[in-house]
Amino acid sequence: MNLDRALILLLASVGAVSGFAPGFTSRQTSRVVSGSALFSEEAAVSVEAEAPAAEAPAAAVEEPQSTYDTQIYIGNLSFDTVESDLRAAFQAHGTVTKVSMPLNRETMKSRGFAFVTMSNAEETAAAIAAVNESEITGRTVYASESLPKEKVAEGKKKYQAKKQRNEGSKIYIGNLNFDTTEADLSAAFAAYGDVKDCFLPTDYEGNPRGFGFVSMDEEAAAKAIEELNGTELDGRTLTVNKSLPKGQKATPKQIKLYVGNLSWGTEESTLRELFEEYGKVIDCYSPVDRETGQHRGFAFVTMDPDDALRAADETDGYELDGRILRVNEAQPKGYGGRSNENDGYDGGDAYDESADEGWGNDGY
């Protein structure tokens, strides 16, 4: 009996020590107790009660995230398309990891295109093949692999070069008579080469705007510009120069002056005589009302830069036919400076296509 007590005390001491000793757990203590025939059931229970708490579970192992990031470009989307529509269309072909759809800031609706990322290359290829030229929210959409920015820029450059070869050089023709037709303009340029295209912009009511564009081969275009600039067509002195790409501005070789506050009785010939005192007048034009045929109280005079600047300085504030003239350099329509209701031509040797909607004789 004394021996049993001694063993129980010994094992109790071992159990207490196991709480501090690494690797020696309560389960091991339990096995020692249950394995000894000398222990009573009561002693084993006592030892278990003194054992420390069970081990903490091992931390879960995180799975590595996919680094596949090739995007699919989807174009021609309906403005009513939402991200869930795109997910539904692509989930049938794999795991959609990301959907990016730019929104219009004002309407907060789709801008007509989006990007979708799948989990791997195989799913991307399958999704493109299935979704391309399919219908999403009532529109036939086009899907393709999204290219890096540098490749997009390279492709755009090649496209522009090809377009230039096919269409040739674009020529701007300004100061056209409102009665001049596309056939008239084409005939004038056909003497210098093949006219690939001829276009006369009109306003919202279908009236001509007083300028146009002609496309020809580069060599023919250069010859036509040289020969036709400054010549007359249907009673108007033409301004002919190369049409510049959007955003580019030409260095003016001539300056067009705006002459405002004219008397209704002032003749164009009188105005020309006034400005010829300061140099050669390349062109003098008084816009007229289409219905009444009367001039509208202002005019434009084109001169070489030095002559134009001197004329503007001398004639601004000059009294002509009882009216004080207002003279300054003509500016493009919508220009942020002083308004002068001019036709927007800057007097240079080229025309900026970015202003097509705001330039022309209909702006008088």
Give per-residue pLDDT as tens, 63-102. 445 578 889 999 999 999 999 999 999 999 999 999 999 9
DSSP letter assigned to residue 32: H
What is the sign of the dihedral through the CA atoms of 85, 91, 93 and 96? positive
Which amino acid is residue 241, in one-letter code?
A: N
Confidence at residue 285, expressed as pLDDT on a 0 to 100 scale: 87
Band (pLDDT 50/70/90 cuts) for residue 7 is low
Confidence at residue 165, expressed as pLDDT on a 0 to 100 scale: 61
Q: Tell me if 87 sits within 8 A of 96, measured CB to CB.
A: yes
Residue 158 has pLDDT above 80, yes or no: no
Q: What is the CA radius of gyration of the chain?
A: 42
Residue 58 has pLDDT above 80, yes or no: no
> Is residue 259 exposed (0-12), middle (13-18) or buried (19+ Cβ within 10 Å)?
buried
Confidence at residue 355, expressed as pLDDT on a 0 to 100 scale: 38
Band (pLDDT 50/70/90 cuts) for residue 290 is confident
pLDDT in tens, 14-47: 555 455 444 444 444 444 444 444 444 444 444 4
108's torsion region: left (phi>0), alpha (psi -120 to 50) or beta? left
Confidence at residue 95, expressed as pLDDT on a 0 to 100 scale: 93
> Is residue 290 exposed (0-12), middle (13-18) or buried (19+ Cβ within 10 Å)?
exposed
